[in-house]
Chain A
Amino acid sequence: MKMKIMRMIGLLTVLAIAVPALPQALNEGQGHPLKGVWLGDWGVDKAKRTPVTIEMNWDGKAVTGSINPGPDAVVFTKAELNPDNWTVHLEAESRGARYVIDGQIENLGSLRRTISGTWTQGSQKGNFRITRH
């Protein structure tokens, strides 16, 4: 029982810190259009989807980032934005699988803009859609 209470206090503490931070992060999307955390999924068909988190940064010269940041992050080896048509090209490699992601930004001006397009991972090819959070 005591452990449960301690866990609940811990969870509430995390939420108390994390929840107020979310609106601030969402509001800060007026710089480079790719910068930020993007959530969504990819899959070879509508039924079989895999959730993904993509984080991207901009240092003034290059876009960097990864798929599913954390210990098993798949770091991009190439990340390009074409501002002529707002298309995005991302490449990565992990555990023998090559990732090639091509998409286009929609609702560019929105802080909840999206990127959708094709997602190739090893021999599998499907589509994806991610939304900036």
Chain B
Amino acid sequence: MPPVPRLSDGSPSLGWVDPTYQGVWKPVRLRDYAELLLDRKEEGLPFQPWAKALYQYRIKTEQKDDPEGLCLPPGGTLATVNRTASPWEFLQMPEQKRIIRVFEGASHMWQIIYMDGRPHPQEAYDLPTWMGHSVGHWEGDTLVVDTVGFNEGHWMTTLGAPRTNLHHLIERFTRTNYNTLRYEATIDDPGAYTRPFRVGWNINWGPGQELVEVVCTENNQYPNLFPDEDTLLKQLESKP
């Protein structure tokens, strides 16, 4: 295994430099964060009552309304690990003072992380977006990404934990060795949760792999999987 490569500015490469060792980050499928809490203080996530009830409803109805099933772009933690466990990669551009994350799945999206020290603009809050507005900096060899300005078009987890436009996400990416990326996130969403909380997991390198074209909307059958809500609930209740 080669050492973690470094760029000309001294920062660690979170991608590849030598084509012999090219690859992408290949997350495993994680449906929920309850077991991934780094600061557990209660059973499960620290939901507000309405958020917990909505989460339970989404589990009961088998995620029939999952926006990702409708090919809507998941931002935040759900961009890093989502329903399809789609790979992604970092493109670091130190001369432009920005880093771009490119995602294979979930609407073929990208995230711009501004590394030039700018603050979040007011527009990020006034005109929230699917991916939010991200600024980053290095703390040693850890890339710290601060994102705000999410719209309310998506969920926080595949299982259905909600997210509101008050969501503030701080992600920490540390490449502990060539094949491993340690991911930790601090989630502060006072619209849906009673306290900020931290989650974390490792992401593996997919050696030799490249991102390929995936167009989610092409022949998407997810919306056809479920009947209307009344029928679905009756079907689920009649299950042994």
Show the binding face of A for B, using Cβ within 8 Å: 24, 27-33, 35, 58-60, 81, 83-84, 86, 107-110
Contact = CB atoms under 8 A, between A and B. Distances in A.
27 contacts: A27-B67, A28-B128, A28-B151, A28-B152, A30-B152, A30-B154, A31-B163, A31-B165, A32-B162, A32-B164, A32-B192, A35-B152, A58-B191, A59-B191, A60-B192, A81-B50, A83-B52, A83-B53, A86-B53, A107-B229, A108-B57, A108-B229, A109-B57, A109-B58, A109-B61, A109-B65, A109-B229
Interface of B: 48-50, 52-54, 57-58, 61, 64-65, 67, 72, 128, 151-155, 162-166, 190-192, 229
B189 to A, nearest CB: 8
Most buried by B among A30, A35, A58, A86: A30
Nearest to B56: A83
Nearest to A81: B50
B135 to A, nearest CB: 23
Given A31-B165, A31-B192, A110 B229 contact: yes
* In the A-B complex, the 10 residue pairs with the closest CB atoms: A83-B53, A31-B152, A109-B65, A31-B164, A60-B190, A83-B50, A60-B191, A28-B152, A28-B153, A27-B153
Nearest to A83: B53
A20 B133 CA distance: 22
B61 to A, nearest CB: 6
Contact of B67 (A30, A33, A108): A30
Interface centre among A28, A31, A33, A81 (most CB of B within 10 A): A31
Contacts of B53: 83-84, 86
A60 B152 CA distance: 13
A50 B57 CA distance: 33
A58 B152 CA distance: 12
A86 B53 CA distance: 9
B132 to A, nearest CB: 13
Nearest to B64: A109
Contacts of B190: 60
B31 to A, nearest CB: 17
B226 to A, nearest CB: 10
Nearest to A34: B50
Contacts of A110: 65, 229
A43 B152 CA distance: 32
A33 B128 CA distance: 18
A21 B31 CA distance: 31
Contacts of A33: 50, 54
Nearest to A106: B229
Contacts of A109: 57-58, 61, 64-65, 229
Contacts of A83: 49-50, 52-54
A8 to B, nearest CB: 29
A40 to B, nearest CB: 19
